Chains A and B, each alone.
Chain A
Amino acid sequence: MLDDFMTRAVLAGIGVALAAAPLGCFVVWRRMAYFGEATAHAAILGVAISLMLQISVFAGALMVALLMAWIVTLLSGKNYAMDTLLGVLAHSSLAFGLVFVSFLSGIRIDLMAYLFGDILAVSQNDLAIIWIGVILVLLLMYWRWSPLLISTLNEEMAYANGLKPKRDKMILTLSLAITVAVAIKVVGVLLIVAMLIIPAATARIFARTPEAMAIIAAIIGSLSAFCGLEAAYVFDTPAGPTIVCTAAVSFIIFNLMGYIYKKINSI
């Protein structure tokens, strides 16, 4: 079954969508979109380094994504506003990554594959690494779900409950870095944040509890991955961007439906 490239692509897409769902909810709730962007862009630098050192792209991307998260945490609250700082770090790491890649003249590299993903080329080996990452992220999220919710609402309340909000935040950052690393192959560094945010934002329309939002986001994300891949096959379009387009279209449609539903109810 895993011999078919389409099956592997669907499984990889659904895997990333599942990990991105609970994580994406926290990115939305804690307003970490730009932080996610910086982590993801840094990953291209990780890709360049891995290719140079001939180590696993996953490992390299994960390491640099974590390093970026650590630098952001270190520098935050100093001289610049958070969004300025993230803007500097996100785009410069992307630029440095691209320049680094250009030095690797000996190896033929399809840069587009790392920027926008190359989901149809996912190997069985890639699929295994993606799912190990996905399961790890899901376990971490399940384990720290309530503590993270409490510290999202109020940090002092978390401390008073005997929790460790700083450690939980590190776990969230680690999960984000893992998700970025495994999603490179699927949607590429430029579109990872879209997979985090769009399904979660769409799920908000229907959800009454945080858990419901995460589950609905997982469903929307998985359906987007599946339908996006089918659409890419039919229309012969790039797969990663088509998945994100599908998610974006569902965001628009469900929001319009929600708006109309409200209008009808208020008449």
Chain B
Amino acid sequence: MNLISIENLCVNYGAKTVLHGVDLKVDAGEIITIVGPNGSGKTSLLRAIIGATPLKEGKVTLKTGLKIGYVPQRLNFDSSLPMTVERFMNLSNNISKKECFNALEKAGAPDIFRNQISQLSGGQFQRVLLARAIMNKPDILLLDEATQGLDQPGSALFYKQIEEVRRDTNCAVLMISHDLHVVMSASDRVICLNGHVCCSGTPANVASDPEYKAMFGAETEGTLALYQHHHDHDHDYDHDHTDKKVKHSA
């Protein structure tokens, strides 16, 4: 059985359609990356999965008892909220000091136990978020641009950790990312989203897909310049999803 099964998902934000006709299935142990321009509905897709946004149409089915580990992009933190790393780690998981320490050690940040969250560096902060997310042994990890604010070695290290987590626990990973190069190599499957699923498949397949090229052509210059393709249709960043496009994706 799939961990997550999404059928014909439509999500509106006010009068604007952000997602339509999205089908997606996630199996155990898979690493899936969602790429797409700003406003393409990546975050809305994650929000639909966790039940944070009402669905206009379609169905999101989670495996019964599915445990989700969620790594947010950032926290709404300001210095008015005192919070030690330890307290943050056991906010929702009732865990012992020892377990908390072990989880942080595994995440490569054992000595920040007593620090205030607001004083952590970007890298330490992401490690804490990841450590918290994997602590209750989730079936799937959801990452919303979790490497934002990390430099390139930092994010490479972060993805390496995620691969290790998958290897050790067979936990599936569904992540949104902007770091196309790193992401491509680590993923089993890449989904290129722009209101609908434009194309999906193995990293190599997607990288050579004309729709992907059309969307990310300029950004991926250099790394993916080997691929030469012709656009079969226009895919500008703010195209509106009229009925014509719905048919196209179906």
Question: What residues of chain A have their CB less than 8 Å away from a CB belonging to chain B?
Answer: 28-29, 146, 149-150, 152-157, 159-161, 163, 165, 201, 204, 207-213
Residues on B lying within 8 angstroms of A by beta carbon are 46-47, 50-52, 68-70, 72, 74-78, 80-84, 87-88, 91-92, 116, 142, 144
B142 CB to closest chain A CB (Å) equals 6
* Residues of chain A contacted by B68 (CB below 8 angstroms): 160-161
Contact between chains at B82 and A160 (CB < 8 Å): no
Please give the distance in Å from B48's CB to the nearest CB on chain A: 10
Query: Measured between C-beta atoms, what is the minimum distance from A31 to chain B in Å?
Result: 8
* Bound-complex Cα distance A154 to B144 (A): 12
A-B pairs, top 8 by smallest CB distance, nearest first, are A160-B70, A159-B52, A159-B50, A154-B72, A207-B82, A153-B75, A160-B50, A160-B68
Nearest-Cβ distance from residue B13 to partner chain A, whole angstroms? 11
If A146-B91, A208-B116 touch, whether A157 touches B70 (CB-CB below 8 Å) is yes
Contact at A153–B77, with CB atoms within 8 Å? yes
**CA–CA, A149 and B80, complex, Å:** 13
B83 x A156 contact (CB < 8 A): no
Contacts of B92 in A (CB 8 A): 146, 150, 161, 163
The answer to whether residues A154 and B75 also contact, given A159-B51, A160-B50, A161-B92 and a CB cut-off of 8 A, is yes
Closest Cβ neighbor of A28 among chain B residues? B80
18 A–B pairs (Cβ distance < 8 Å), ordered by A = A146-B91, A146-B92, A152-B76, A152-B81, A153-B76, A153-B88, A154-B75, A159-B47, A159-B52, A159-B70, A160-B68, A161-B68, A161-B70, A204-B80, A208-B84, A209-B83, A212-B82, A213-B82
Contacting residue for A156 out of B70, B81, B84, CB 8 A: B70
Chain A residues with CB under 8 A of B47:
156, 159
A29 touches B50 (CB 8 A): no
B72 with A157: CB separation less than 8 A: yes
Contact residue among A152, A156, A209, A213 (Cβ-Cβ distance under 8 Å from B52): A156
Cα A17 to Cα B151 with chains together (Å)? 46
Task: Give the one of A149, A160, A210 with max B CB within 10 A.
Answer: A160
Q: Give A204's nearest chain B residue, CB to CB.
A: B80
A101 to B83, CA, bound (A): 45
Give A251 Cβ to nearest chain B Cβ, in Å. Answer: 14
Q: How far is the CA of A165 from the CA of B51 in the complex (A)?
A: 11
| Most chain B beta-carbon contacts within 10 A, residue among A163, A165, A209, A212 | A209
Q: From residue A38, how far is it (CB to closest CB) to chain B in Å?
A: 20
Q: What residues of chain A lie closer than 8 Å to B69, measured between beta carbons?
A: 160
Give the Cβ gap from B45 to chain A, nearest Cβ, in Å: 12
- Bound CA span A27–B201, Å: 47
Q: Could you say which of B52, B80, B91 contacts A29, with CB atoms under 8 Å apart? A: B80
In the docked arrangement, what's the CA distance between A149 and B81, Å?
10
Instruction: Check A160–B142 contact: CB distance below 8 A.
Output: yes
The CA of A161 and the CA of B138, in the complex, are separated in Å by: 11
**Complex CA distance for A156 and B92, rounded to whole angstroms:** 14
Structural contact, A209 and B51, CB atoms closer than 8 A: no
A29-B81, A157-B75 are known contacts; what are 10 more A-B pairs with Cβ within 8 Å? Answer: A29-B78, A146-B92, A152-B76, A153-B91, A156-B52, A156-B144, A160-B50, A160-B69, A209-B83, A209-B87
Q: How far is the CB of A32 from chain B (nearest CB, A)?
A: 12
Closest CB of chain B to A211's CB: distance in Å? Answer: 8
Q: A160-B69, A160-B142 are in contact. Are A209 and B84 (CB under 8 A)?
A: yes
